[in-house]
Structure 1
Amino acid sequence: MADFIKEPGARGTSPAPAGRFSRAEIGAFLARQGILIAFILFMIGFTIANDRFLDPDNILGVVRSSAILGVMALGVTFVVISGNLDLSVGSMMSFSTIVVLDLHDKIGPAMAIPAMFAMTLCLGAFIGFLVGYLKLNSLIVTLGMLSAIHGLTLTYSGGKNMDIADKEGTWFSVFGQGSIAGIPVPILIFALMAAALGMVLARTPFGRKVYAVGGNGVAATFSGVRRARTVFMCYLVSAFCVATAGLIQASRSLGSQNTVGQGMELEVLAAVILGGASLLGGSGTIFKTVIGVLILGFIQNGLLLVGLQFYAQYVVTWVIIILAVWLDIAAKRGKLWSPIA
Structure 2
Amino acid sequence: MAGWTRSDIGGFLAKQGILIAFFLFIIGFTIANERFLAPENIMGVVRSSAILGVMALGVTFVVISGNLDLSVGSMMSFSTIVVLDLHDKLGPALAIPAMFALTLCLGALIGFLVGYLKLNSLIVTLGMLSAIHGLTLTYSGGKNMDIADKGGTWFSIFGQGEIFGIPVPILIFVGLAALLGIVLARTPFGRKVYAVGGNGVAATFSGIRRARIVFACYLLSSFCVATAGLIQASRSLGSQNTVGQGLELEVLAAVILGGASLLGGSGTIFKTIIGVLILGFIQNGLLLVGLQFYAQYVVTWIIIILAVWLDIAAKRGRLWSPLA
User: Offset of 1:305 from its aligned partner?
Assistant: 0.3
Counterpart Cα distance in 2 of 1:217 and 1:257: 40
Partner of 1:328: 311
Task: Give the letter for the 1:160 counterpart.
Answer: K
Partner of 2:113: 130
User: Offset of 1:19 from its aligned partner?
Assistant: 3.7
Q: Is 1:111 aligned with 2:91?
A: no
Q: 1:143 aligns with which of 104, 126, 138?
A: 126
Q: 1:171 aligns with which of 140, 154, 157?
A: 154
Q: Deviations over 1:32-52 (max 9, x none)?
A: 000000000000000000000
Q: Deviations over 1:24-73 (max 9, x none)?
A: 11110110000000000000000000000000000000000000000000
Q: 1:85 aligns with which of 50, 65, 68?
A: 68
Counterpart Cα distance in 1 of 2:166 and 2:69: 31
Q: Is 1:273 aligned with 2:256?
A: yes
Q: Greater Rg, structure 1 or structure 2?
A: 1
Q: 1:253 aligns with which of 217, 221, 236?
A: 236
Counterpart Cα distance in 1 of 2:307 and 2:240: 31
Counterpart Cα distance in 2 of 1:77 and 1:71: 10
Q: 1:62 aligns with which of 22, 45, 57?
A: 45
Counterpart Cα distance in 2 of 1:315 and 1:143: 21
Higher helix share: 2
Matches within 5 A, 1:179-190: 179-190=162-173
Q: 2:29 aligns with which of 8, 29, 46?
A: 46
Counterpart Cα distance in 1 of 2:320 and 2:127: 35
Q: Deviations over 1:243-285 (max 9, x none)?
A: 0000000000000000000000000000000000000000000
Counterpart Cα distance in 2 of 1:309 and 1:163: 28
Partner of 1:318: 301
* Alignment length (residue pairs): 324
Matches within 5 A, 1:226-245: 226-245=209-228
Structure 2 SS opposite 1:299: helix
Partner of 1:6: none
User: Offset of 1:338 from its aligned partner?
Assistant: 1.1
Counterpart Cα distance in 2 of 1:280 and 1:331: 12
Partner of 1:13: none
Q: 1:295 aligns with which of 278, 299, 304?
A: 278
Q: Is 1:283 aligned with 2:266?
A: yes
Identity percentage of aligned residues: 88
Structure 2 SS opposite 1:52: helix
Counterpart Cα distance in 2 of 1:281 and 1:157: 37
What residue ranges of structure 2 are gaps of 5+ in the alignment? Answer: none
Task: Give the letter for the 1:269 counterpart.
Answer: L
Q: Is 1:223 aligned with 2:206?
A: yes
Q: Deviations over 1:198-235 (max 9, x none)?
A: 00000000000000000000000000000000000000
Counterpart Cα distance in 2 of 1:219 and 1:185: 42
Counterpart Cα distance in 2 of 1:264 and 1:31: 26
Task: Give the letter for the 2:151 counterpart.
Answer: E
Task: Give the letter for the 1:188 counterpart.
Answer: L
Counterpart Cα distance in 2 of 1:70 and 1:133: 28
User: Offset of 1:20 from its aligned partner?
Assistant: 2.1
Partner of 1:152: 135
Counterpart Cα distance in 2 of 1:63 and 1:217: 36
What residue ranges of structure 1 are gaps of 5+ in the alignment? Answer: 1-17
RMSD over aligned CA atoms reads 0.7
Counterpart Cα distance in 1 of 2:41 and 2:116: 46
Structure 2 SS opposite 1:53: helix
Counterpart Cα distance in 1 of 2:54 and 2:20: 25
